[in-house]
Structure 1
């Protein structure tokens, strides 16, 4: 039995889907085994105030402030570990911390939320 070009392309045409799925599964497994786990923790801070539009504006300002690199005292070594976002229609700030350990991510986001609350109370 000789393997001609026609026979090889015929097999590839017939088996391209199972081969591509197997190669994708092997690649995904290799990536999952080679990469370290990443954990994310989230905290929400509600900005209370009289006027809802003004409170939403303060929430947007606090989100911009908390995303600065110097806001969190211990985050100078990992500047991309904390992200902040404000809801456009609600006075809510979402803080997200990413770390290699679950406890580290939770501790980082809790410290950021506490510092944001202290900053907001000091400048109210």
Structure 2
């Protein structure tokens, strides 16, 4: 049976989930983007186990483990992109997309390929 408490929690979680999903495409910072993607994972885990049933809790844990492994690979790829930008001589805008686009011609191609593979796997 669904009660009002669960409905309120669901819509609160859904609102936070949507907010964090909307921040991802509009942010210019790689770190903020990764944190908001991680936030969507954590909030979706809470939404999955909203009713605290055994199957829902098990599914939430499995999703959390799989998503965390993927996000860890994506984080490593993001760090490689950051390092490629630092190696190209950028220090102020090293975490910003605009700085990366500006310095992209100076990136080490092998480092960018490794970063791309990690982000793709993640």
Q: TM-score range by the shorter chain?
A: under 0.3
Query: For the pair shown, which has the larger CA radius of gyration, 1 or 2?
Result: 1
Work out which structure has the larger RCO, using CA pairs closer than 8 Å and 6 or more positions apart in sequence. 1
Normalised by the length of structure 2, the TM-score is 0.27
Normalised by the length of structure 1, the TM-score is 0.26
